[in-house]
Chain A
Amino acid sequence: MATLIKMPKLSDTMEEGVILKWLRKEGEKIKQGDILVEIQSDKADMELEAYDSGVVRKIFVPEGGKAPIGGLIAIIGAPEEDISAVLSGSPTVSASKAGAQANPTLSPTSQASTTAELLDSKGKASPLARRLARENRIDLTAVSGTGPQGRVIKRDLEGMISGKPAGATPVSRPIIPGTAEDVELSPIRKTIAKRMTESKTTAPHFYVTVEVDMDPAMTFRDQINAVKEIKLSFTDIIIKATSEALMKHPQVNATYLGDKMRQYHYTHIGVAVALEEGLVTPIVRNCEQKRLDQINAELRDLVERARTRKLKPDEYLGATFTISNLGMFGVEEFAAIVNPPEGAILAVGGIIEKPVVRNGEIVIGHTMKVTLSSDHRIIDGVVAARFMQDFKKILENPASLVL
Chain B
Amino acid sequence: MAIVSLREALNQAIDEEMTRDERVYMMGEEVANYQGAYKVSQGLLQKWGPKRILDTPIAEAGFAGLGIGSAMLGLRPIVEFMTWNFSLVAYDQIVNNAAKMLSMSGGNFSVPIVFRGPGGAAHGLGATHSQALESIYSHFPGLKVVMPSNCKDAKGLLKSAIRDDNPIVFIESEVMYGDKGEIPDGEYTIPIGVGEVKKEGKDVTIVSWSKVLAHVVLSAVDVLQEELNISIEVIDPRTIRPMDYDLIVSSVKKTNRLVIVEEGWPFAGVGAQISHEVAARAFDHLDAPVERVTQEDVPLPYAHALEARSLPNLDKIRSAVKKVLYLD
Contacts and interface: CB of A to CB of B under 8 A. Distances in A.
A155 interface: yes
A128 B326 contact: no
B326 A153 contact: yes
Contacts of B287: 126-129, 153-154
Given A127-B283, A148-B326, 12 more contacts: A126-B287, A127-B285, A127-B286, A127-B287, A128-B285, A128-B286, A131-B284, A146-B326, A153-B287, A153-B288, A153-B326, A154-B256
A147 interface: yes
Nearest to B286: A127
Contacts of B256: 128, 154
Contacts of B288: 126, 147, 153
B326 A155 contact: yes
B326 A130 contact: no
Interface string B288-324: 1000000000000000000000000000000000000
A127 B283 CA distance: 6
Nearest to B288: A126
12 contacts: A127-B284, A127-B285, A127-B286, A128-B256, A128-B285, A128-B287, A131-B284, A146-B326, A147-B326, A153-B288, A154-B256, A155-B326
B203 to A, nearest CB: 11
A143 to B, nearest CB: 14
Contacts of B283: 127
Please report whether the interface of chain B is mostly helix, strand, loop or mixed according to DSSP. loop
Nearest to A109: B326
B19 to A, nearest CB: 52
B250 to A, nearest CB: 15
Contact of B284 (A130, A147, A153): A130
B291 to A, nearest CB: 13
Interface in B257-306: 283-288
Nearest to B328: A148
A273 to B, nearest CB: 42
Interface in A127-161: 127-131, 146-148, 153-155
Interface string A111-131: 000000000000000111111
A155 B285 CA distance: 13
Interface residues of B, number: 8
Interface of A is mostly: helix
Contacts of A131: 284-285
A155 B256 CA distance: 12
A131 B285 CA distance: 8
Q: Identify the interface centre among A128, A129, A131: most chain B CB within 10 Å of its CB.
A: A128
Nearest to B284: A131
Contacts of B286: 126-128
Contacts of A155: 326
Nearest to A128: B287
A126 B282 CA distance: 12
A147 B288 CA distance: 9
Interface string B47-77: 0000000000000000000000000000000
A5 B14 CA distance: 74
A107 to B, nearest CB: 11
B279 to A, nearest CB: 9
A129 B285 CA distance: 8
Interface string A356-368: 0000000000000
Contacts of A153: 287-288, 326
Nearest to B326: A147
Contacts of A154: 256, 287
B271 to A, nearest CB: 19
Nearest to A155: B326
A219 B288 CA distance: 69
* Residue in B284, B285, B287, B326 whose Cβ sees the most chain A Cβ within 10 Å: B287
Nearest to A134: B284
Most buried by B among A127, A129, A130, A153: A127
Nearest 9 CB-CB pairings of A with B: A131-B284, A128-B287, A154-B287, A126-B287, A127-B286, A127-B283, A127-B284, A128-B256, A153-B287
Interface string A307-320: 00000000000000
A128 B285 CA distance: 5
Contacts of A129: 287
B8 to A, nearest CB: 45
Contacts of A147: 288, 326
Interface string B10-23: 00000000000000
B10 to A, nearest CB: 42
Interface string A167-200: 0000000000000000000000000000000000
Nearest to A147: B326
Interface in B173-218: none
